[in-house]
Homo-oligomer: A and B are copies of this chain.
Amino acid sequence: MKYALFAAAAAAFLRLVGAQTYQRLGACPGFGCLFPPDQADFLAGQYFDIRLEVHQPVNGSEATDLPLDEDFTFTVAKAGSAAVSGAEFFGIEEPELETWDFNWYEDLFAEDDDTPTLVNVASKAYRRVALYEPGEYVATLSYNNGSKTIANWLVRDMETTRKAKNVILFIGDGMTTNMITAARLIAHKQVNGKYMTKMMMDKFPVLGHQMTHSIDSFITDSANSATTLYSGHKTTVNALGVYADSSPDEFDDPKVETIAEIFKRIWGGAVGIISTAYIADATPAALTAHTRDRYQSGAIVDSFLHGNVNYTWSPWDGADVLFGGGAEYFFNSSLGGESYNDLDYYALFEEAGYSVVYDNSALETTPNDTKTLGIFTVDNMSKWLDRNVYTDNLLDQENAPDGSGGDAVDQPGLREMTTKAIDILSTLSPDEGFFLMVEAASIDKMMHALDYDRALGELLELDDSVKSAVDKLTALGSLEETLILVTADHGHGFDVMGSVDTMYLNRAATDRQKRNAIGTYKESGQSQYAISGNLTYGPGHHFPSAWDPRYTLFDGVGAFPDFRADYQVNKDGPREPATPLEDEEGEPIDEDDNYANPEDSPNGYLVNGTLPVRDDQGVHSLTDVPVFAMGPCQELFGGVYSATDVFFGMAECLGLAQTTAPDC
């Protein structure tokens, strides 16, 4: 039945494909919108909201004479049963009708001409419902005298027995197989084509690929993909824990419950959240925030402590561990901060019983038996390469987490945050276990900046953290009861194509001569990064011993702004490849017209960009990303599958499916 119905849905889907660059509303190509949409899968008992919208375009190519239909109806049917009204099906009151309007551009020509299309909307939202019985359901929105939008929903039939005590989900933001290959090359020795050591993730017994695309576009961002990994629901770029609707309020979009929320609700286990980004960034935020706007950073910080507050939702008593950057969303405007409602969130966390730490020394010594907030920098944390090799770059950053304007020179690495989190979570939740998400955020951030050295340093730090987590779990006797996943949320189109004789490149007189410094195929030679040198990181920790050898990597991405290519490590901090031209006062002439930054890679040759000139950085890519799995349920993560399956695999392993409704 499911696929018979699909034909109708597909026909509707095809109507407006001409409008690709812009969409009236993602996942709603017709005039009747239903979220969760067709083909959505659910964990049994998972909370979600339903949003219905009926659209009336006033002008533009879709303009209609039909009045706005405020009398639309909604039914749900379990397969084999009759359809009943949504309110009756879920045993809730019929929601209030809402109306609004919005504007959008149908394509780039419409944008250039400034001819937006106005759309009137009639809508309802059904809040905090759940489907318990596994199987197929059909949800139907009927509108405009006979038009229908049909959604085939599936509640997955899975084992309900819990198999893992703990789950650690490592996310290398933007990390691809290509990057892992490059990181291995610069940090692990090989002899005659054979590696003497491998990455920790290489040693994981099960490998899979997950397909990362969005619900309504084939390239995703980190908000959207994190939502998928945590909830099993694909959504739209910038959306956290919700399907994106068209309403003006960015906090009323239809929510989906996340694995952190379900795990706390069902088992009462501990939850840890770690990122090297500002902690309100998309990947950590999607565990507790519900908004279609990932940039609501203050509210996101509030959600780590209080959960969702504007609607009744899963109970949430605060993340047990929260480590990262982003101090500016914790202190208030008196210190230059941007905290939610101008409150002091350090104080609020302390009042809620948290230990609060601001540097690595305090992190090391803080007790394990207390919920802990660790905020170590304003904005994103510093990069591994700057914390470990080019340490002068930690100075004059004015990024101390107390808002004093000092420098955060004693930041922990991802490894230190990870192992401490495991200590705390194991102590706080000795029986019910923990869910820990660890994000190496700046793989992505440095790929955006075309700063491949720093990106690969971050990736190697991730791998080092995975190894340290395995060691820590082994010491605690918990390795066998912990599912460890290492994966990513999307890619960047990066690869390595050979080597560069930087001595030759730097001495060559012209751009075309400089390109002769490139060695491909046989002339790529061997990696010079992994030769024994002066830098040591301790036994078993694999990083390059030389970051600026004569022969460096010839690497690149498939889409870029104007930039200069010199293939040499940026020793004075993260790269800034493109900037607007400046006038005599040093002010940008046009913020949306970027050229190669004259101060970046001065010895390099100029490459004009492929991206729109408003872009000053690289962008995400399509590629499937790898999933490395070890521990209970590892067999669920082999082969090729949707990113949603990462959620369902973790949920099955933690025994989160509830196939009967609670009595209350």
For the complex, what is the distance from the CA of A557 to the CA of B178, rounded to whole Å?
A: 12
Q: In the assembled complex, which residues on chain B have CB atoms less than 8 Å from the CB atom of A639?
A: 202-207
Instruction: Check B213 against A190 for contact (C-beta < 8 Å).
Output: yes
Q: In the assembled complex, which residues on chain B have CB atoms less than 8 Å from the CB atom of A228?
A: 193
Q: In the assembled complex, which residues on chain B have CB atoms less than 8 Å from the CB atom of A193?
A: 27, 39, 213-216, 228, 234, 642, 644
Does A556 interact with chain B (Cβ within 8 Å)?
yes
CB-contacts of A322-348 with B (<8 A): none
Q: With CB as the reference atom, state the residue of chain B lying closest to A239.
A: B522
Q: With CB as the reference atom, state the residue of chain B lying closest to A643.
A: B193
- The contact string, 1 if C-beta is below 8 Å from chain B, for chain A 479-507, is 00000000000011111111101001000
- The contact string, 1 if C-beta is below 8 Å from chain B, for chain A 161-196, is 000000000000000111011101100011111111
CB-contacts of A512-563 with B (<8 A): 512, 515-528, 531-532, 550-551, 554-559
Instruction: Check B218 against A526 for contact (C-beta < 8 Å).
Output: yes
Q: In the assembled complex, which residues on chain B have CB atoms less than 8 Å from the CB atom of A497?
A: 219, 493, 558-559, 619-622
For the complex, what is the distance from the CA of A623 to the CA of B236, rounded to whole Å?
A: 29
Q: In the assembled complex, which residues on chain B have CB atoms less than 8 Å from the CB atom of A189?
A: 10
Does A133 interact with chain B (Cβ within 8 Å)?
no
Instruction: Check B178 against A622 for contact (C-beta < 8 Å).
Output: yes
Q: In the assembled complex, which residues on chain B have CB atoms less than 8 Å from the CB atom of A492?
A: 495
Does A107 interact with chain B (Cβ within 8 Å)?
yes
For the complex, what is the distance from the CA of A143 to the CA of B640, rounded to whole Å?
A: 52
Does A58 interact with chain B (Cβ within 8 Å)?
no
Q: With CB as the reference atom, state the residue of chain B lying closest to A235.
A: B193
Instruction: Check A621 against B207 for contact (C-beta < 8 Å).
Output: no
For the complex, what is the distance from the CA of A205 to the CA of B190, rounded to whole Å?
A: 30
- Interface residues of A, count at CB 8 A: 126
Given A494-B558, A639-B204, verify A501-B108 contact (CB < 8 Å).
yes
Number of this chain's copies in the assembly equals 2
- The contact string, 1 if C-beta is below 8 Å from chain B, for chain A 607-628, is 1111111110001111110100
Q: With CB as the reference atom, state the residue of chain B lying closest to A624.
A: B181
Given A181-B623, A218-B526, A619-B521, verify A638-B640 contact (CB < 8 Å).
no
Q: In the assembled complex, which residues on chain B have CB atoms less than 8 Å from the CB atom of A607?
A: 607-610
Q: With CB as the reference atom, state the residue of chain B lying closest to A620.
A: B521
List the one stretch of A14-22, A274-282, A401-409 in contact with chain B: A14-22
Q: In the assembled complex, which residues on chain B have CB atoms less than 8 Å from the CB atom of A606?
A: 608
Instruction: Check B501 against A20 for contact (C-beta < 8 Å).
Output: yes
Residue from B221, B496, B614, B622 in contact with A493 in the complex, judged by beta carbons closer than 8 Å: B496
CB-contacts of A554-608 with B (<8 A): 554-559, 565, 593, 605-608
CB-contacts of A1-27 with B (<8 A): 3, 6, 9-10, 13-14, 17-18, 20-23, 26-27
Residue from B6, B515, B527, B640 in contact with A609 in the complex, judged by beta carbons closer than 8 Å: B515
Instruction: Check B216 against A522 for contact (C-beta < 8 Å).
Output: yes
Instruction: Check B209 against A516 for contact (C-beta < 8 Å).
Output: no
Residue from B216, B516, B556, B640 in contact with A613 in the complex, judged by beta carbons closer than 8 Å: B516
Instruction: Check A608 against B611 for contact (C-beta < 8 Å).
Output: no
For the complex, what is the distance from the CA of A14 to the CA of B527, rounded to whole Å?
A: 11
Given A181-B622, A216-B526, A526-B216, verify A194-B551 contact (CB < 8 Å).
no
Interchain Cβ contacts under 8 Å between A and B, 25 examples: A20-B499, A21-B551, A27-B192, A107-B504, A108-B501, A177-B623, A177-B624, A184-B211, A192-B234, A193-B215, A199-B640, A202-B639, A207-B639, A219-B520, A219-B522, A495-B621, A495-B622, A496-B558, A497-B620, A511-B608, A515-B611, A515-B612, A518-B610, A606-B608, A607-B608
Additional A-B contacts beyond A26-B522, A218-B526 (4; CB < 8 A): A23-B522, A178-B622, A218-B524, A221-B521
